Amino acid sequence: MSPAGQSSSPKRRAVLRTAWALVAVAFGIYALFVGRAFWQGGL
């Protein structure tokens, strides 16, 4: 199992899909709390 083979395998793609989805969730929650507060006139 070479690294090159791993990077294109369906499992690798599934791992990356999961990871990016979770990154989006984390940023979304941060934006919900702090972004919305700034938007509503904290400044």
DSSP string, 1-43: --HHHHHTSHHHHHHHHHHHHHHHHHHHHHIIIIIHHIIIII-
Binders of other proteins: how many residues, by CB under 8 A?
A: 19
Query: Which residues from 18-37 bind other proteins, rule CB under 8 A?
Result: 18-19, 22-23, 25-27, 29-30, 32-34, 37
Q: Is 42 in the site for other proteins (CB under 8 A)?
A: yes
From the CB of residue 12, how many other CB atoms can be counted at a distance below 10 Å?
13
Regarding 11 and contact with other proteins (CB under 8 A), the answer is yes
Q: Which residues bind other proteins (CB under 8 A)?
A: 1, 11, 14-15, 18-19, 22-23, 25-27, 29-30, 32-34, 37, 42-43
